[in-house]
Amino acid sequence: MAEIKGVAVLQSIDSIKARGGEEEFAKILAELNPEAGSVFAGPISPWKWYSLDAFAALLDADIRLTANGDREVLIARSEKVIEGQLRGIYKMFIKLGAPAYVIRRISSVHQAYFNGIHFIPEFAESKEALIKYVGFEPRHEIMGYAIIGFYRKALEISGAKQVAVNFTVPISAGGPYAELKITWV
């Protein structure tokens, strides 16, 4: 079973509450099935692992209620989260890093945030990368939008121009892996 680290769950909950307050968060929780809702009803520990199924359901409910189901909104929301994470000294490491370094770094950081998901970065050309994700299920498809936002914003911070990030093999396809293609100038 795929899992996500509590710190990522907390960041998402904090983002929801900052945007719409406790009332909006309560509405989102009310949209979840009892099993998923119980995951988020109690305190979340940053170091514990939580069901990726439940987390994907939380993101789905959030997008349904606050963005009229427009999943693309999650890309911009993820960009804001990574911008907040990359403050101070961390931003300097990204800013000084070449895009290939940034991609490798994000892939290794994602390994710490996901349990049961494997990331395989491949660099086909000097300004292109493919990342294979093994372990996502079609029901985790919404995670793709968050992933796109993270890579896109980090590469923009690093100075890359004309960044394009998209899934050439979508998570929803349910194949042996999903594949993300990243290009930049």
What CATH code would you report for 73-183? 3.30.1380.20
Query: Which regions of the chain carry the CATH code 3.30.1380.20?
Result: 73-183
Q: Label residue 40 by pLDDT band (50, 70, 90).
A: very high
Query: What's the pLDDT tens digit per position in 125-184?
Result: 678 999 999 999 999 999 999 999 989 998 988 888 999 999 999 999 999 999 999 999
Single pTM value for the model: 0.91
The mean per-residue pLDDT over the stretch 61-89 comes to 88
Long-range interactions of 139-142: CB distance < 8 A, separation 24+: 139/53, 139/56, 140/2, 140/52, 140/53, 140/56, 140/171, 141/56, 141/170, 141/171, 141/172, 142/56, 142/59, 142/60, 142/63, 142/71, 142/74
